[in-house]
């Protein structure tokens, strides 16, 4: 439907239509769809009050301030939801609305009973959980103290990853709970996979259109003097900025192994030159790597599907070749439910069709966990396929995030990374991680790599005089190298304590000489290490925490901030359990009271985690 077709006959004058069409002529397709949605919502106001046009921002703002309030809440682990929430807020303000924007970690949930319109942007973490910073908000709204919300209207934009069984579950939980508390939907929930840009933009346009149309109808202005299309990045960013959509081509300075001879694992230290990028970072931030797929995997994919690398292809209007697109534009490793559906349709394979059934969800996820895209192509061949049809089932290739292991204050214009490349065998064939293998195997000094900085406001150092406890086994120690470099550069006076763990003392003591120097200079107050494979009885960082329980609890009582970085599946839960047990034992508290103590640390941002 065109913008003009959205309106009833005679809704606007010929002069007004000319104005609308002049404005819309240079819009992108996404902006045109948004504007169509806007006018669809505005038609509600026209049907009630005659020919009503969108007011200039100043008029709309004055009218909405006396009507309904608008609050935007976001919950994020990596920053994507924060970015979308800011875009949503800008769109709302562009059209005369006056939203308040809050991170769920900072929002006081008891305010919910006084809200009117709330828009939520939330991601799902792990197996259906909310992002760590939003846990407190979810505990409140899903708990017994949550108020009735009959006066509240809402809509949820939910981000997730369809390779997980509980896809977008945090957003679904929030949507269900708000409905149960009596709130009314402004717009149906929209669930987005990792390629979220288009559905998020459409949801934003439609929700803002609806709210702005209501405000316009309420104000009933008569002027057609200002119709603002959906805001573009260019309108707000006159100076080019390097970010996820426009990464900086950085040069790799160094790429060296930092494990000793005989180590059972591979860990590398990589230094990246940011000079000339305008990028800076704070301790706790991550570096986004827009890595490319393994060229050997691209060759195997092309062989399995029977297509040539130089076959022409169009990706979002850009002319390229199939080989280049498979290397740079699409996820070609892990198979997703989307690809399973696509390949089941193309191949007609009975086994794949059966896995699509709603009651086979668990089996479907287990199957996808053991079968990559390449495995499906080989097991269920589809002859005579063209490139456009094949890639239609693939997701866009996403950047990967790595904790920055250096301080910008200490080492300006550089970002250091600590990584262990992902390598494993599946169906008797070696497989590798996309970004970690790119960095480890093809990231030679002098080569370039598209990068950007991803801010992490939920993993920040406290005031320089406060004590910190850092728990980072393996490559999880990376941000703590940055923490100590920063504290040294800023002459911080607060005490610091590091718990580090790895497999073997002789081969895997990452950055050993640096920690020793920090200890000698007093930047690092104390350090406890755990090497799990040096003795028959395995010892981990949580065991060292328990051994030092009295001192650790004393540090907490004296205001220490606790930081955990590393494996989310086992290490982080084990460390959390150890922390609760230490508080219960040393504080002589019941389990429930100890858990509340730790929840209080989370609420006060004294317990921060960066786990993956």
pLDDT in tens, 152-203: 999 999 999 988 888 999 999 999 999 999 999 999 999 999 999 999 999 9
The secondary element (H helix, E strand) that includes residue 520 is: helix 512-521
CA–CA distance, 403 with 301 (Å, rounded to integer): 31
Q: Which CATH superfamily is domain 3-236 in?
A: Flavodoxin domain (3.40.50.360)
Residues facing residue 99 across a β-bridge: 70
- CATH 2.40.30.10 location in the chain: 248-291+401-454
Ranges 225-234, 371-380, 575-584: which has the least confidence:
225-234
CATH tag for 468-611 (out of 3.40.50.80, 3.30.930.10, 3.40.1080.10, 1.10.760.10): 3.40.50.80
Q: pTM for this one?
A: 0.84
**CATH architecture of the domain covering 248-291+401-454:** Beta Barrel (2.40)
The pair phi, psi for residue 399, each rounded to 5°, is: -70, 155
pLDDT in tens, 378-393: 999 999 999 999 999 9
CA–CA distance, 291 with 452 (Å, rounded to integer): 12
pLDDT score recorded for residue 240: 53
For residue 222, name the pLDDT band (cuts at 50, 70, 90): very low
Residue 318 neighbours by CB under 8 Å, 6+ apart: none
Q: According to DSSP H, which parts of 187-291 are helical?
A: 197-219, 233-236
pLDDT score recorded for residue 220: 55
The secondary element (H helix, E strand) that includes residue 283 is: none
Q: According to DSSP H, which parts of 266-349 are helical?
A: 295-305, 322-328, 337-347
Report whether 162 contacts 191 (CB < 8 A): no
Residue 64 neighbours by CB under 8 Å, 6+ apart: 70, 96, 97, 98, 215, 218, 219
Give me 191's structure tokens. 């669930």
pLDDT in tens, 493-536: 999 999 999 999 999 999 999 999 999 999 999 999 999 999 98
pLDDT in tens, 289-310: 999 999 999 999 999 999 999 9
Pairing of strands 414-419, 268-273: antiparallel
- CATH 3.40.50.80 location in the chain: 468-611
pLDDT score recorded for residue 52: 33
pLDDT in tens, 29-70: 444 444 544 454 444 333 333 333 333 443 433 333 347 999
Q: Pick the residue with more confidence: 592 or 17?
A: 592
Average pLDDT over residues 365-382: 96
pLDDT score recorded for residue 358: 87
Q: How many CB atoms are located within 10 Å of the residue 508 CB?
A: 23
- CATH 1.20.990.10 location in the chain: 320-391
- Residue carrying the six token digits 């650790």: 552
For residue 24, name the pLDDT band (cuts at 50, 70, 90): low
pLDDT score recorded for residue 226: 40
pLDDT in tens, 232-241: 433 344 445 8
Closest CA to 91 of 200, 186, 220: 200
pLDDT score recorded for residue 54: 37
For residue 97, name the pLDDT band (cuts at 50, 70, 90): very high
Check pLDDT > 50 for residue 228.
Answer: no
For residue 25, name the pLDDT band (cuts at 50, 70, 90): low
pLDDT score recorded for residue 45: 35
pLDDT score recorded for residue 478: 98
- Residue carrying the six token digits 């000339």: 276
pLDDT in tens, 429-455: 999 999 999 999 999 999 999 999 999
pLDDT score recorded for residue 224: 37
Q: Considering just the CA atoms, what is the radius of gyration of the chain in Å? A: 27
Average pLDDT over residues 343-361: 94
Q: Pick the residue with more confidence: 55 or 373?
A: 373
- State whether residue 91 is helix, strand or coil: helix
pLDDT score recorded for residue 60: 38
Average pLDDT over residues 102-107: 96
Check pLDDT > 50 for residue 251.
Answer: yes
Helix 80-94 vs helix 197-219: angle between axes, to the nearest 10 degrees? Answer: 30
What integer best gives the mean pLDDT of the chain? 88
Q: How many CB atoms are located within 10 Å of the residue 18 CB?
A: 11
pLDDT score recorded for residue 162: 87
- CATH 3.40.50.360 location in the chain: 3-236
The CA-CA-CA angle for residues 450, 486, 415, to 5°, reads 15
pLDDT in tens, 500-512: 999 999 999 999 9
Distances 163 to 101, 127, 289, 424 between C-alpha atoms, Å: 30, 10, 20, 19
Average pLDDT over residues 409-428: 97
pLDDT score recorded for residue 22: 54
Pairing of strands 153-159, 190-192: parallel
Report whether 482 contacts 406 (CB < 8 A): yes
pLDDT score recorded for residue 27: 53
* CATH 1.20.990.10 is the classification of domain 320-391: yes
Closest CA to 237 of 267, 189, 278: 278
pLDDT in tens, 123-157: 998 778 999 899 999 999 999 999 999 999 999 99
Give me 335's structure tokens. 């198979």
Check pLDDT > 90 for residue 561.
Answer: yes
């Amino acid at each position: 439907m065109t913008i003009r077709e959205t309106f009833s006959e005679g809704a606007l004058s010929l002069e007004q239509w000319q104005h609308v069409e002049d404005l819309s002529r240079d819009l992108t397709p996404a902006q045109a769809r948004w504007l169509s949605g806007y006018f669809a919502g505005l038609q509600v106001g026209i049907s009630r009050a005659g020919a009503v046009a969108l007011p200039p921002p100043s008029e709309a703002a004055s009218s909405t301030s006396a009507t309904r309030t608008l609050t935007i809440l976001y919950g994020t682990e990596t920053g994507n939801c924060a970015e979308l929430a800011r875009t949503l807020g800008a769109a709302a303000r562009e059209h005369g609305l006056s939203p308040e924007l809050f991170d769920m970690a900072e929002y006081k949930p008891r305010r919910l009973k006084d809200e009117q319109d709330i828009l939520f942007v939330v991601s799902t973490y792990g197996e259906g959980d909310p992002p760590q910073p939003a846990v407190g908000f979810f505990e409140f709204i899903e708990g017994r103290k949550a108020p009735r919300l009959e006066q509240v209207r809402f809509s949820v934009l939910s981000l997730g990853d369809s390779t997980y069984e509980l896809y977008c579950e945090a957003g679904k939980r929030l949507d269900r709970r708000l409905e149960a508390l009596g709130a009314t939907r402004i717009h149906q929930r929209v669930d987005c996979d990792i390629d979220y840009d288009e559905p998020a933009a459409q949801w934003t346009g439609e929700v803002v259109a609806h709210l702005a149309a209501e405000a316009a109808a309420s104000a009933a202005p008569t002027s057609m003097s200002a119709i603002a299309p959906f805001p573009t990045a260019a309108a707000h960013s006159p100076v080019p900025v390097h970010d996820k959509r426009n990464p900086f081509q950085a040069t790799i300075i160094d790429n060296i192994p930092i494990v000793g001879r005989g180590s059972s694992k591979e860990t590398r230290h990589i230094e990246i030159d940011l000079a000339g990028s305008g990028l800076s970072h704070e301790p706790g931030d991550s570096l986004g790597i827009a890595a490319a797929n393994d060229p050997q995997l691209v060759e195997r994919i092309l062989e399995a599907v029977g297509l040539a690398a130089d076959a022409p292809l169009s990706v979002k209007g850009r002319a390229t070749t199939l080989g280049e697109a498979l290397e740079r534009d699409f996820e070609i490793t892990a198979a997703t439910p989307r690809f399973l559906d696509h390949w089941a349709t193309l191949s007609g394979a009975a086994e794949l069709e059966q896995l699509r059934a709603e009651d086979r969800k668990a089996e479907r996820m287990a199957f996808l966990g053991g079968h990559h895209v390449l495995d499906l192509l080989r097991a269920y061949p589809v002859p005579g396929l063209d490139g456009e049809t094949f890639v239609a089932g693939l997701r866009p290739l996403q950047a990967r995030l790595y904790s920055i292991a250096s301080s910008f204050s200490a080492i300006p214009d550089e970002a250091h990374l600590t990584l262990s490349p992902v390598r494993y065998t599946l169906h008797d064939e070696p497989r590798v991680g996309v970004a970690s293998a790119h960095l480890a195997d093809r990231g030679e000094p002098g080569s370039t790599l598209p990068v950007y900085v991803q801010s992490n406001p939920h993993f920040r150092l406290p005031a320089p005089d406060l004590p910190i406890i850092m728990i980072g086994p393996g490559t999880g120690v990376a941000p703590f190298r940055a923490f100590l470099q920063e504290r040294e550069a800023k002459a911080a006076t607060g005490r610091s304590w590091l718990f580090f763990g790895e497999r073997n003392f002789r081969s895997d003591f990452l950055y050993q000489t640096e920690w020793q120097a920090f200890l000698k200079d007093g930047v690092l107050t104390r350090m406890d290490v755990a090497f799990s494979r040096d003795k028959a009885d395995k010892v981990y960082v949580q065991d060292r925490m328990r051994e030092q329980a009295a001192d650790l609890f004393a540090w907490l009582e004296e205001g220490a901030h606790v930081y955990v970085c590393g494996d989310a599946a086992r290490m982080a839960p084990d460390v959390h359990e150890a922390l609760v047990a230490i508080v219960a034992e040393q504080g002589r508290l019941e389990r429930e009271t100890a858990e509340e103590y730790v929840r209080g640390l989370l609420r006060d941002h004294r317990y921060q985690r960066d786990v993956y």
